Amino acid sequence: MKHISKTVWILSLVSLFTDTASEMLYPIMPIYLKSIGFSVLLIGILEGVAEATAGLSKGYFGKLSDNSGKRVPFVQLGYSLSAISKPMMAVFIYPLWIFFARTTDRFGKGIRTGARDAILSDEATPETKGKVFGFHRSMDTLGAVLGPAFALVYLYYYPENYKTLFFIAFAPGLLAILSTLYLKDKRSKIVNQKTATPFFSFLKYWKKSPNTYRKLVTGLLAFTLFNSSDVFLLLKAKQAGLNDQMVIGVYIFYNLIFALSSFPLGIIADKIGLKKMFIIGLTLFAIVYFGMAINDNIYIFFALFFLYGIYAAATEGISKAWISNISEKKDTATAIGTYSAFQSIFTMIASSFAGLIWFQFGASATFIVTGIATVIIIGYFFFWFENV
């Protein structure tokens, strides 16, 4: 495992444990929320608000991490908040409490993301960014296989007993917290602790960032504006006749493909260019969404989720590696955090918009609109963005 350092391994294990906890709940989240009275529209708003909270905090804490020259404290606090939020979801079922618990989870993600990705960037060279970020994404997504697999077995023996899963999910979250104790900050010469960091100070980075960064992020955000929560894919599968176990099963399958593909695709991306790999991913995404619009066949759902796993592997780690390559080292957390802040705001809009279209016009319209928009965005990256 050349180029994969001890620090990258620790961060990857932390993400593995955290994703095991989160993804144990994710596939049953829409089912659980509907069982306690949430409508599809309200689920879309909940996911959107949660992601917006994560995004805004990613921008601020990314900037704060760069200013302080510290990374590890942000990683430790962020993973801790996400862990304790899991049992909170089962304590009360009132909408405001559910919103608070879900937001706490995403707030923790916001605190840790910029600092964590900056650590990963520091552990790589421009020639190995795809590999390092791909490896981390593979380990992270492996948790999205283990978590739902456990949920599937559990629900087989205890059908519809969703609440207990939220308490069980705290165990891997605790392992993640303990693993972060093995991380140590490297000494940084770039420290600006005396300068106050207003909450929206990261927005100033947009003005002073390289033109290439702004062009890249513009394209990424245009895609995000139509890329709603994966919850809608699961709801579509459920609507087509899959039972709870099959919904979780297809989600496990998707994440398994995602996990197995991220590392090798990261290596390939370092060789062929990050732009080419990203465009391949977007093309697969468009195919999946057009397929979701017209499909009701259970077996074809598995084929679509297979392609969706390849899409995710070809874009998620790649986009962050791409951003870190075109930003200065001293601004890595801010650059990724600023993008993530805008991304989550746009995700809130996308999820709310998708929920509204679904509510008014049905599932097919939601997926067709997203598919058409993605084709246009592919054209933007293909014709108007230089190779990287």
pLDDT for 14-32, tens place per residue? Answer: 999 999 998 888 767 777 7
**Considering only 59-63, 168-172, 367-371, 373-377, which range has the smallest mean pLDDT?**
59-63
Mean pLDDT for the stretch of residues 52-64: 78
- Contact assessment for residue 375 and residue 240, using Cβ atoms and an 8 Å cutoff: no
Q: Which residues contact 198 (CB under 8 A, 6 or more apart)?
A: none
Burial grade of 222 (CB within 10 A; 0-12, 13-18, 19 or more): middle
Q: How many CB atoms lie within 10 A of CB 14?
A: 27
Residue 388: per-residue pLDDT: 47
Burial grade of 163 (CB within 10 A; 0-12, 13-18, 19 or more): middle
How remote is the C-alpha of 356 from its chain's centroid? Answer: 22
Distance CA 260, CA 265 (A): 9
Please tell me the CATH code under which domain 6-183+204-384 is placed: 1.20.1250.20
Top pLDDT among 117 and 328 is at 117
Long-range CB contacts (within 8 A, 24+) of 276-279: 276/387, 277/130, 277/314, 277/315, 277/318, 278/314, 278/315, 278/318, 278/319, 278/322, 278/381, 279/378, 279/381, 279/382
Q: Which residues contact 32 (CB under 8 A, 6 or more apart)?
A: 25, 162
Q: Which residues contact 372 (CB under 8 A, 6 or more apart)?
A: none
Q: pTM of this prediction?
A: 0.76
Mean pLDDT for the stretch of residues 265-286: 90
Longest Cα separation, the chain: 60
Mean pLDDT for the stretch of residues 329-348: 80
Residue 20: per-residue pLDDT: 92
Mean pLDDT for the stretch of residues 95-107: 83
Burial grade of 129 (CB within 10 A; 0-12, 13-18, 19 or more): buried
**Considering only 50-54, 82-86, 242-246, which range has the smallest mean pLDDT?**
50-54
Domain segments of the chain: what residues? 6-183+204-384
Output the average pLDDT for the chain.
83
List the Cα angle 318/320/326 in 5-degree steps. 105
Place 327 in a pLDDT band, splitting at 50, 70 and 90: confident
Does residue 188 surpass a pLDDT of 70?
Answer: no
Residue 106: per-residue pLDDT: 83
Based on C-alpha coordinates, what's the Rg of the chain?
Answer: 20
Does residue 59 surpass a pLDDT of 50?
Answer: yes
Mean pLDDT for the stretch of residues 147-170: 85
Place 304 in a pLDDT band, splitting at 50, 70 and 90: very high
Residue 382: per-residue pLDDT: 86
Q: Which residues contact 145 (CB under 8 A, 6 or more apart)?
A: 23, 252, 255, 256, 259
Residue 149: per-residue pLDDT: 85
Per DSSP, the three-state class of 164 is helix
- Compute the Cα dihedral for 65, 66, 71, 75 and give only its sign: positive
Residue 81: per-residue pLDDT: 92
Does residue 299 surpass a pLDDT of 60?
Answer: yes
Residue 25: per-residue pLDDT: 84
Does residue 286 surpass a pLDDT of 90?
Answer: yes
How remote is the C-alpha of 34 from its chain's centroid? Answer: 23
Residues 108-154 pLDDT 10s = 988 998 889 888 888 888 778 888 888 898 898 898 889 878 887 88
Residues 189-235 pLDDT 10s = 555 545 556 666 667 777 778 888 888 888 999 999 888 878 788 88
Residue 200: per-residue pLDDT: 65
Residue 373: per-residue pLDDT: 92
Q: Which residues contact 141 (CB under 8 A, 6 or more apart)?
A: 19, 255, 258, 259, 262, 312, 313
Residue 36: per-residue pLDDT: 75
